[in-house]
Amino acid sequence: MKKLLRALSLAIAVFISVAMSPFSAYSASVSSQNDTTLQQLFDELETANDITSANNTALKIWNRWMSTSGDDATDELMERGVYFMQTGNLPLAEDVFSNIISSHGNYAEAWNKRATVRFMRGNWSGSEADIAEVLALEPKHFGAMSGLAMIRLHQGDYSTALSIYEKVLEIHPFSPDAITYIPKLKDMLKGTAL
């Protein structure tokens, strides 16, 4: 259990660092549901043969999700929100992302950033609700799915966490979180009905 908690702490740090990675823009409608370039990148990711190519493709996907919208004011607000996250001003970061969501409700990455802030603040139900919005807009958002699995881990729902990580692995076969947690969760759940 200590190893699982240590690994969970590391995964949270990775989740937060990915969510706080710098970027300069947003895209209101970029989704694997309606963007052929993004769908091609997901096809590449799903068939990646090694971790290097998978990580390169995953980075391209993150960049695509956060591609330039031409809306400089929103770009600036997103950068400000990420800055507040990085400096630990979580209430202000949450307010910034909430304001973006109120005017750009179809911008999945704003929902994802707010989900991260809410997770960091211990508001798991709020984070989970935001993750649901992310996944409605971008069903293949492996970052949001990993966040949901972390919530389930914190809640002690190891069976559901395992299920989610297995879905993450279908999308991103070299997902560090999924690769780390799937064997640990399977060991923990041995002998119990999944």
pLDDT digits (tens, 9 = 90+) for 89-120: 999 999 999 999 998 888 888 999 999 999 99
Lowest mean pLDDT among 16-25, 33-42, 83-92, 172-181: 16-25
Whole-Å CA distances, 154 to 8, 126, 133, 150, 191:
9, 14, 21, 6, 21
Indicate the burial class of 87 (C-beta count within 10 angstroms; 0-12, 13-18, 19 or more): exposed
Do the domain assignments include residue 16? yes
Q: How many domains does the chain have?
A: 1
The CATH code of the domain that includes 179 is 1.25.40.10
In this predicted structure, the answer to whether residue 8 has a pLDDT above a threshold of 90 is no
Do the domain assignments include residue 26? yes
Residues 161-192 have pLDDT tens digits of 999 999 999 999 999 999 999 999 999 898 66
Q: What is the pLDDT, as a whole number, of residue 32?
A: 76
Phi-psi region of 88 (alpha: psi -120 to 50; beta: other; left: phi over 0): left
Q: What is the pLDDT, as a whole number, of residue 61?
A: 93
Do the domain assignments include residue 62? yes
Q: What percent of the chain has pLDDT over 70?
A: 80
Structure confidence at residue 59 as a pLDDT band (50, 70, 90) = very high
Do the domain assignments include residue 172? yes
Do the domain assignments include residue 109? yes
Strand residues in 75-117 grouped as ranges (E): none
Q: Which amino acid is at 137?
A: L
Q: What is the pLDDT, as a whole number, of residue 6?
A: 52
pTM, two decimal places:
0.80
Structure confidence at residue 16 as a pLDDT band (50, 70, 90) = very low
- Report CA dihedral (118, 46, 23, 89) to the nearest 10 degrees: 20
Q: What is the pLDDT, as a whole number, of residue 184?
A: 93
Q: Which amino acid is at 75?
A: D
What tokens does 21 get?
A: 């990675």
Structure confidence at residue 69 as a pLDDT band (50, 70, 90) = very low
Do the domain assignments include residue 194? no
Write out the residue range of the structural domain in which residue 68 sits.
2-189
In this predicted structure, the answer to whether residue 155 has a pLDDT above a threshold of 90 is yes
Contacts 24+ apart (CB under 8 A), 72-81: 74/26, 74/100, 74/103, 74/104, 74/107, 75/24, 75/25, 75/26, 78/23, 78/25, 78/26, 78/109, 78/110, 78/113, 79/22, 79/23, 79/24, 81/113
